[in-house]
């Protein structure tokens, strides 16, 4: 039986040195290339090639119908210059920013409040409230959109309950209402994740702070928030990405209107491609969304990598 | 029209039963004898949920025409392609189908506003050689014949037209002290009547004119563009192809909207901006007694028939009145004209093109054409049909009146830039509805800014 070399705990390398040594060693093996090839090929075929083609399309004059639907070609920076001076695009980008930031803020705050309240609630109440919030999260965007449309227009549930049946909340404050609907539809996810994270906070730390006369705000700021930060970071980034891609909810509720009040980038891209027949320009706006999503993705990868 | 949102399960069941019966009739008719002529297959694409007033009525009509055709031409097989969805969905799917030769339908029915786009793409074949000896086409009024005329050739022919008039509730107008029958001479008299209604019946909607973008490009055709057609400068696109973003007529039109909404005479935005089939809402409002006057399309009257039932209101024939929409200062009526047209794919073989045109011949037969008109809410394009009882007895007396108003109507432009322009004017009308303090000049400026931004300054113009 081969003997297992023992590490001298007194004179041998420390654990940190061991980790450092291992990390410094090159772990590349040529045989891994063969194993990675299928995945790499799939990545190229299913992601990089279509992405590259979409980037190229954004620099052409392709239309859905019309002479350039058949005979189309590369037009250089023409679409980029148009994008630069397209005031509708910039107002759409602004609306997108407000929608994303509003969605993130709402989801994080409401998700945390619900999660912490449910921690203290009776089990039966936790089940009911948690169940309702999760159902809202799992509800298809079409159903959620129709529900919020019916609730917030004149004669809808909110206006009737408030005793002003003719008030049209959706038309009066369109971006606010669709952002609230977005928060409503994504809070269940945040509540579940934050609930799990809150349960993992050691009660000893909270109790010790209480003994030291720390106020509830101090306990939140000094103990809970730092321990929740990784979870919150993940929620912020995922909510941001989901909000960026949230086409269905707004399309059903307002179709981007009234005017262009809720015309966020996914809707503007669709409008250009299929309402105005400008497929190439629509693709270019889609590429802008990919850039924004990539920025979110890079932040997410960097932050999660830092924690490993 | 626009039956996409209606609860249609019972009608689907009924439609399925009709298809089953049609198929059984066809089979028992013994039409399967193969002639000496070579076998030909054609595909016919149509919008399953948007052209006819209900989906089952459309299904019944198309399957009936197919059965009649295949009985006459047993060597030809017709594949009906029922494209599901609303009108924007249909247009997107049809454009994508045309893009590939193997999926391009031999024959398709599409809105008249798409003709120039499809023709300029090279999707459509000239129908002029086929139409030389056509008896039905010769009976079209010139304005409808020219609907598909591009560069001296005809690329599409109308299967039915929508035009617009003024509907009014007789009881409400009587209560407001307005003499009947009501026929305003100019726009000022329309506003005046709406004000009297508001004074007599504060809780009802005095005047409905479509506004906003929720009904898609057609919404403007049923609403604001009819007023523009009656303004002092009705031009939308100049002969050089430039889109008009400023004119006296545009300002007059937007000012009418400003007056209507700032005085609280217009419909609420909850109805105007409803994604749920907004142009058809007046039919239900009139039946409920909550609407005085509406600038509405001919299909509103068809909604009250038993066949359509959206809603069924047999008393409408006596309770409701119809008048022509006057021009701004009188001197006749104005209305937009937009239809659904047939076009044959440029990729069709000679035999397929002949077969497709023969299919059109069957579809344009008098009974089929009038049934399509009645069930889809169209005025038939053949002028003599406007006095046929099958047409005049349906949605009486409105169908006949809309036939009489049709010669006063003018076609909407058909070009790629029109889709942008119409979005601009719909957004401007929506702003006037949602923010009544907005002036007509401000709305026109907003519209000009949007359209110029989307197109380019070289593609727009202003007129005096």
Torsion over CA: B414, B420, B424, B430 (sign): positive
Closest residue to B420, CB basis, from A67, A166, A276: A276
Query: Once rounded to an integer, what is the mean pLDDT over residues B418-434?
Result: 91
How many A-B residue pairs are in contact by the CB < 8 A criterion?
A: 86
CB B243 within 8 A of CB B236: yes
The answer to ipTM > 0.85 is no
**Interface contact flag, B453 A86, Cβ < 8 Å:** yes
Closest alpha carbon within chain A to B454? A86
| Nearest residue to B212 via CA among A15, A294, A256, A161 | A256
Query: How confident is the model over B323-375, as pLDDT tens digits?
Result: 999 999 999 999 999 899 999 999 999 999 999 999 999 999 999 999 999 99
Q: Is the pLDDT of residue A56 over 60?
A: yes
pLDDT at A1: 44
Confirm whether pTM is higher than 0.90. Answer: no
Tell me which chain B residues have a C-beta less than 8 angstroms from the C-beta of A252: 275
Residue A276 banded pLDDT, cuts 50, 70, 90: confident
Tell me whether A257 touches chain B (CB under 8 Å): yes
H or E segment to which residue B322 belongs? strand B320-323
- Interatomic CA distance for residues B366 and B374, integer angstroms: 12
Tell me which chain B residues have a C-beta less than 8 angstroms from the C-beta of A281: none
Tell me whether B320 touches chain A (CB under 8 Å): no
pLDDT at B38: 82
pLDDT at B13: 40
Tell me which chain A residues have a C-beta less than 8 angstroms from the C-beta of B122: 67, 70
- Interatomic CA distance for residues B377 and A295, integer angstroms: 51
Backbone torsions φ then ψ of A283, nearest 5 degrees: -65, -40
**Interface contact flag, B453 A88, Cβ < 8 Å:** yes
- Give the CA count within 13 Å in the CB-facing half-sphere of A269: 19
Tell me whether A165 touches chain B (CB under 8 Å): no
Closest residue to A257, CB basis, from B120, B213, B449: B213
Measured at the alpha carbon of residue B44, what is the angle toward residues B42 and B49, in degrees to the nearest 5? 160
Query: Once rounded to an integer, what is the mean pLDDT over residues B83-87?
Result: 88
**Interface contact flag, B88 A274, Cβ < 8 Å:** yes
Q: Is the pLDDT of residue B191 over 60?
A: yes
Tell me which chain A residues have a C-beta less than 8 angstroms from the C-beta of B275: 149, 252, 255
Lowest mean pLDDT, pick from B140-154, B312-326, B406-420 = B406-420
Min distance A80 CA to chain B CA atoms (Å): 14
For chain A, what's the residue count? 308
CB B373 within 8 A of CB B51: no
Give the pairing type, strands B335-344 and B409-411: parallel
Lowest mean pLDDT, pick from A28-32, A300-304, B30-34, B81-85 = B30-34
Residue B148 banded pLDDT, cuts 50, 70, 90: very high
Min distance A30 CA to chain B CA atoms (Å): 45
Tell me whether A252 touches chain B (CB under 8 Å): yes
**Interface contact flag, A258 B269, Cβ < 8 Å:** yes
**Interface contact flag, B99 A154, Cβ < 8 Å:** no
**Interface contact flag, A69 B95, Cβ < 8 Å:** yes
| Nearest residue to B160 via CA among B377, B354, B11, B318 | B377
pLDDT at B424: 92
Tell me which chain A residues have a C-beta less than 8 angstroms from the C-beta of B211: none
In this predicted model, which residue has the larger pLDDT, B360 or B270? Answer: B360
Query: Once rounded to an integer, what is the mean pLDDT over residues A220-224?
Result: 90
Min distance A75 CA to chain B CA atoms (Å): 16
**Interface contact flag, A88 B88, Cβ < 8 Å:** no
Q: Is the pLDDT of residue B17 over 70?
A: no
**Interface contact flag, B275 A255, Cβ < 8 Å:** yes
Torsion over CA: A194, A199, A200, A201 (sign): positive
Q: Is the pLDDT of residue A170 over 80?
A: yes
pLDDT at B9: 39
Min distance A283 CA to chain B CA atoms (Å): 16
Tell me which chain A residues have a C-beta less than 8 angstroms from the C-beta of B453: 85-88
| Nearest residue to B272 via CA among B204, B209, B197 | B209
Listed ranges A291-305, B90-104, B288-302, B450-464; the one with the highest mean pLDDT = B288-302
Interface of A with B in 51-70 (CB under 8 A): 63-67, 69-70
- Interatomic CA distance for residues B241 and B460, integer angstroms: 9
Q: Is the pLDDT of residue A308 over 70?
A: no
**Interface contact flag, A87 B449, Cβ < 8 Å:** yes
pLDDT at B158: 96
**Interface contact flag, A66 B274, Cβ < 8 Å:** no
CB B269 within 8 A of CB B433: yes
**Interface contact flag, B274 A257, Cβ < 8 Å:** no
Q: Is the pLDDT of residue B30 over 50?
A: no
pLDDT at B36: 58
Residue A24 banded pLDDT, cuts 50, 70, 90: low
Interface of A with B in 188-247 (CB under 8 A): none
Helix (H, G, I), strand (E, B) or coil at B310: coil
Measured at the alpha carbon of residue B367, what is the angle toward residues B361 and B373, in degrees to the nearest 5? 95
Average pLDDT across chain A, whole number? 87
**Interface contact flag, A168 B269, Cβ < 8 Å:** yes
pLDDT at B84: 93
Min distance A27 CA to chain B CA atoms (Å): 50
Average pLDDT across chain B, whole number? 89
- Interatomic CA distance for residues B450 and B444, integer angstroms: 10
Q: Three-state secondary structure along chain A?
A: CCCCCCCCCCCCCCHHHHHHHHHHCCCCCCHHHHHHHHHHHHHHHHHHHHHHHHHHHCCECCCCCCHHHCCCCECCCHHHHHHHHCHHHHHHHHHHHHHHHHHHHHHHHHHHHHHHHHHHCCHHHHHHHHHHHHHHHHCCHHHHHHHHHHHHCCCCHHHHHCCCCCCCHHHHCHHHHHHHHHHHHHHHHHHHHHHHHHHCCCHHHHHHHHHCCCCHHHHHHHHHHHHHHHHHHHHHHHHHHHHHCCHHHHHHHCCCCCCCCCCCHHHHHHHHHHHCCCHHHHHHHHHHHHHHHHHHHHHHHHHHHHHC
Chain A interface, best mutation among B213, B281, B436, by max A CB count within 10 A: B213
**Interface contact flag, A154 B95, Cβ < 8 Å:** no
Measured at the alpha carbon of residue A176, what is the angle toward residues A170 and A180, in degrees to the nearest 5? 95
Lowest mean pLDDT, pick from A19-23, B331-335, B432-436 = A19-23
pLDDT at A113: 94
Min distance A307 CA to chain B CA atoms (Å): 46
Residue B31 banded pLDDT, cuts 50, 70, 90: very low
Tell me whether B121 touches chain A (CB under 8 Å): yes
Min distance A123 CA to chain B CA atoms (Å): 42
Query: How confident is the model over B408-423, as pLDDT tens digits?
Result: 899 888 777 888 899 8
């Amino acid at each position: 039986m081969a003997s297992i070399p023992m590490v001298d705990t007194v004179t041998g390398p420390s654990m940190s040195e061991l980790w450092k040594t291992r990390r410094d060693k090159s772990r590349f093996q040529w045989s891994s290339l063969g194993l990675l090839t299928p995945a790499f090929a799939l990545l190229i075929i299913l992601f990089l090639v279509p992405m590259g083609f979409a980037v190229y399309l954004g620099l052409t004059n392709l239309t859905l119908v019309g002479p350039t639907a058949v005979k189309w070609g590369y037009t250089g920076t023409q679409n980029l210059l148009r994008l630069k001076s397209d005031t509708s695009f910039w107002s759409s980008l602004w609306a997108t920013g407000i929608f994303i930031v509003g969605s993130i803020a709402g989801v994080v705050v409401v998700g945390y409040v619900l999660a912490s309240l449910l921690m203290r609630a009776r089990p039966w109440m936790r089940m009911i409230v948690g169940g309702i919030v999760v159902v809202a999260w799992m509800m298809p965007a079409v159903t959620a959109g129709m529900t919020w449309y019916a609730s917030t227009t004149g004669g809808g549930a909110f206006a009737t309950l408030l005793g002003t049946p003719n008030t049209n909340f959706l038309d009066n404050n369109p971006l606010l209402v669709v952002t609230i609907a977005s928060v409503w539809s994504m809070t269940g996810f945040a509540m579940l994740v934050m609930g799990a994270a809150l349960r993992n906070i050691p009660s000893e730390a909270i109790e010790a702070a209480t003994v030291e006369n720390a106020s509830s705000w101090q306990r939140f700021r000094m103990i809970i928030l730092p321990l929740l930060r990784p979870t919150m970071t993940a929620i912020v980034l995922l909510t941001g990405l989901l909000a960026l891609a949230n086409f269905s909810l707004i399309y059903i509720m307002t179709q981007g209107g009234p005017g262009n009040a809720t015309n966020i980038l996914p809707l503007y891209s669709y409008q250009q491609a299929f309402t105005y027949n400008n497929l190439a320009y629509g693709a270019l706006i889609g590429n802008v969304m990919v850039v924004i999503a990539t920025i979110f993705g890079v932040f997410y990868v960097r932050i999660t990598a830092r924690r490993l | 029209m626009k039956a996409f949102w209606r609860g249609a399960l019972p009608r689907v069941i009924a439609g399925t039963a009709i298809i089953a019966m049609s198929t059984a009739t066809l089979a028992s008719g013994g039409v399967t004898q193969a002639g000496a002529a070579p076998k030909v297959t054609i595909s016919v694409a149509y919008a399953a949920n948007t052209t006819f007033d209900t989906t089952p009525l459309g299904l019944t009509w198309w399957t009936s025409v197919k059965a009649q055709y295949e009985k006459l031409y047993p060597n030809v097989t017709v594949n009906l392609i029922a494209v599901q969805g609303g009108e924007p969905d249909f247009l997107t799917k049809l454009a994508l189908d045309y893009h590939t030769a193997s999926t391009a339908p031999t024959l398709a029915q599409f809105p008249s506003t798409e003709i120039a786009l499809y023709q300029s793409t090279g999707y459509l074949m000239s129908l002029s050689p086929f139409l030389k000896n056509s008896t039905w086409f010769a009976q079209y009024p010139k304005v409808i014949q020219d609907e598909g005329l591009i560069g001296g050739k005809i690329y599409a022919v109308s299967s039915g037209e929508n035009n617009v008039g003024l509907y009014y509730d007789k009881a409400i107008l009587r209560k407001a002290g307005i003499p009947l029958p009501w026929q305003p001479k100019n726009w000022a008299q329309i506003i005046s009547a709406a004000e009297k209604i508001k004074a007599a019946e504060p809780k009802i909607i005095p005047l409905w004119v479509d506004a906003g973008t929720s009904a898609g490009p057609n919404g403007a055709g049923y609403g604001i563009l009819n007023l523009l057609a009656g303004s002092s400068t009705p031009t939308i696109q100049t002969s050089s192809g430039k889109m008009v973003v400023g004119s006296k007529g545009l300002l007059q039109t937007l000012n009418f909207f400003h007056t209507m909404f700032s005085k609280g005479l217009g419909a609420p935005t909850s109805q105007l901006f409803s994604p749920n089939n907004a142009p058809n809402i007046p039919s239900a409002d009139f039946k409920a007694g909550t609407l005085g006057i509406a600038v509405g399309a001919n299909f509103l009257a068809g909604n009250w028939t038993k066949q359509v039932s959206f809603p069924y209101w047999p008393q409408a024939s006596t309770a409701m009145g119809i008048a022509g929409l006057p021009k701004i200062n009188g001197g006749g009526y104005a209305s937009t004209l937009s239809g659904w047209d047939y076009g044959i794919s440029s990729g069709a073989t000679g035999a397929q093109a002949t077969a497709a045109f023969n299919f059109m011949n069957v579809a344009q037969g008098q009974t089929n054409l009038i049934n399509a008109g009645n069930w889809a809410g169209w005025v038939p394009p053949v002028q003599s049909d406007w006095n046929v009882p099958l047409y005049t007895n349906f949605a009486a007396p409105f169908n006949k009146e809309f036939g009489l108003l049709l010669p006063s109507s003018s076609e909407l432009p058909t070009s790629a830039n029109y889709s942008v322009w119409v979005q601009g004017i719909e957004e401007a009308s929506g702003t006037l509805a949602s923010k009544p303090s907005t002036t007509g000049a401000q709305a026109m400026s907003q519209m000009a800014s949007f359209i110029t931004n989307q197109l380019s300054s070289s593609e727009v113009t202003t007129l005096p």
